[in-house]
Amino acid sequence: MAVALPKDLRQDASLAKRRHAELCRQKRIFNARNRIIGGDTEAWDVQVHDQKIKEATEKARHETFAAEMRQNDKIMCILENRMKRDRKNLCKAISDFQQSFQKPETRREFDLSDPLALKKDLPARQSDNDIRNTISGMQKFMGEDLNFHERKKFQEEQNREWSLQQQREWKNARAEQKCAEALYTETRLQFDEAAKHLQKLEGTTRKAVCASVKDFNKSQAIESVERKKREKKQEQEDNLTEITNLLRGDLLSENPQQAASSFGPHRVVPDRWKGMTQEQLEQIRLVQKQQVQEKLRLQEEKHQRDLDWDRRRIQGARAALLFERQQRRQQRDLRRALDSSNLSLAKEQRLQVHGAFPHQKAPEKNTESAGGVRKASWRRLHG
């Protein structure tokens, strides 16, 4: 008793599986109800379903990228507006400072380029105490400086006023700078808060998109696993049914009735036919012998018919040759008779001419009249 090895069982199972798949494919293709231009609708449905899943995933991915791009555009617009506003405020502060504290009149060298200097100028000397009397002006000489103490006190007071004025200007500028820095810091904090809020919204949106994509993929994976389980179970049932049908069917039992075709008794199903019976083979050999005998008989008849035709052709050729020889003999006899008659006619004509004109020379032979006589004689003979 032979023992089935696991390797043989696996090979048989794989062979049965492939045979079942091929039968299912043939059933789908050759089924007139389900066939659509010779295509596999189930495979197309699976491809369409996979394509829809791919398109949905790609669409969610593109939407996520679009949301990120919109978020980045908003942040860039906010930063750009903030930079423009800061630049504008800085330019405005510089312009206001220049207009308030850097006027041309407050400069020490303004008197050198003052367009109204001649109108504002005083005479060279108004009194001996005039402070404009310089040494080079030749208005006041060494030893004549009577207002030295007042002039020195005035100069010290003037220096003190200039120092106090510079301190006030520096304090005001410092306060304005601190105010501007505080305003800039406050504005920057507001922008940072807005960016943080937008970033938080972006993170929430990304998490929601990722969660939805994860749930969708999870549902698709569960559905795919369930579908594979159902397909595997159905395939196992189909394989078991096929094996049972093959074991109990007529294919392995080699029943000759299974090869009978529904189109007539003279036709068989090729994939079920197990060969002809001994009676059919004997009948075929008998028919072949009859065909050989019939072919030999037809070849003999054809040979006899060819011999008959050859004999008739030889007899016809012999009769034609005899008739041609007879025609030649008759023509030769006629030509001889014609020549003798022409000769006798010529002699009679010469005798007639000599009898009528004995002293004249005999005329020359008229070939044309002789030829005409020959033609007339030929027509008369062959009339």
| % of the chain surpassing 90 pLDDT | 38
Q: Which of 244, 261, 279 is the last residue of a domain?
A: 244
pLDDT digits 0-9 by tens, 56-90: 999 999 999 999 999 999 999 999 999 999 999 99
| % of the chain surpassing 70 pLDDT | 77
126-135, 165-174, 232-241, 292-301: least confidently modelled range: 126-135
Question: Which tokens is 57 given?
Answer: 């995933």
pLDDT digits 0-9 by tens, 260-269: 777 776 777 7
Report if residue 76 sits inside a domain: yes
Name the residue range of residue 372's domain: 303-359+367-383
Exposure letters 97-115 (e unless 16+ CB within 10 A, then b): eeeeeeeeeeeeeeeeeee
Per the structure, the count of domains in the chain is: 2
Q: Answer with the residue of higher pLDDT: 149 or 85.
A: 85
Rounded Cα distance between 93 and 83, Å, is: 15
Q: Is the domain of 309 the same as that of 197?
A: no
Report if residue 131 sits inside a domain: no
Residues whose CB falls within 8 Å of the CB of residue 268, separated by 6 or more in sequence, listed in order: 259, 260, 261
Do 174 and 168 touch, CB atoms closer than 8 A? no
Rounded Cα distance between 165 and 167, Å, is: 5
Alpha carbon dihedral 211, 215, 218, 222, in 10-degree steps, equals 170
Q: Which of 244, 260, 276 is the last residue of a domain?
A: 244
Q: What is the pLDDT of residue 146?
A: 58
Mean pLDDT (whole number) for 91-97:
91
Question: Which tokens is 124 given?
Answer: 């060279």
Report if residue 17 sits inside a domain: yes
Q: What is the pLDDT of residue 78?
A: 93
Residues whose CB falls within 8 Å of the CB of residue 213, separated by 6 or more in sequence, listed in order: 57, 60
Per-residue confidence at 10, pLDDT binned at 50, 70, 90?
confident
